[in-house]
Chain A
Amino acid sequence: GESVGLHLPTLSVQEGDNSIINCAYSNSASDYFIWYKQESGKGPQFIIDIRSNMDKRQGQRVTVLLNKTVKHLSLQIAATQPGDSAVYFCAENSGSSYKLIFGSGTRLLVRP
């Protein structure tokens, strides 16, 4: 499939290492945040979400951290695997609107 966002920032990690992908959001009124994974030629796939009343949420091998003070969101992937290679997007949603505003994305490359 075609690449999305040919000029995306890229994070390259060794298989088995932990990955941290960061995202800055702009709207202090946003109260819901989501991380999506997009593989080449596919639609965005939901990974994990967090609401603004939380600082941290854990899923299977993934953790999302929210720092509202500096409007920063991060996605941590433990023991990164080749199948984790994809473009990762953060998205924010404010309570007054149900549309998602997506960040520009980060490409994760996992080296074998």
Chain B
Amino acid sequence: DSGVTQTPKHLITATGQRVTLRCSPRSGDLSVYWYQQSLDQGLQFLIQYYNGEERAKGNILERFSAQQFPDLHSELNLSSLELGDSALYFCASSVGLGNEQFFGPGTRLTVL
């Protein structure tokens, strides 16, 4: 158990819908990262927050957004969902910047 929690574990929804994935970092960690893992693309970095502020952005679609709240938990919002958005979404956290990242168990999103 890494100490990073993610909810929900599974999510099944339809195309065009919007969902919110939630992540709680390890106690004391200020950085939160979001990754997408699909069968054909491996682990792809989406976005990083540090102490509430966005610090780095990867290939995150405009339909996706995220935020980190004052209590340091983070939410990833996915809207206008498409079949290709079906994937595992992982959250990771680290103490600061450039430290080892600890991953949560992931949320499996299925878009039908």
Contact of A49 among B37, B92, B100, B103 (CB under 8 A): B100
Count of A-B contacts judged by CB separation below 8 Å: 63
Do the beta carbons of A4 and B37 come within 8 Å of each other?
A: yes
Summarize B's interface: helix, strand, loop or mixed: strand
Q: How far is the CA of A45 from the CA of B55 in the complex (A)?
A: 23
A49 and B24 alpha carbons, distance in the complex (Å): 24
Asked if B105 and A42 sit within 8 Å, CB to CB, the answer is: yes
| Residues of B that sit less than 8 Å from A by CB | 2, 4, 31, 33, 35, 37, 39, 42-45, 48, 50, 55-56, 58, 88, 90, 92, 97-98, 100-106
A2, B104: Cα distance in complex, Å: 17
For chain A, which range describes its interface: under 10, 10 to 19, 20 to 34, or 35 or more residues?
A: 20 to 34
- Find residues 18-59 in chain A having any chain B CB closer than 8 Å to their own CB: 32, 34, 36, 42-46, 49
Show 11 residue pairs from A and B whose CB-CB distance is below 8 angstroms, ordered by the A residue: A4-B88, A5-B42, A32-B98, A36-B103, A43-B103, A44-B103, A45-B2, A91-B43, A99-B33, A100-B33, A102-B45
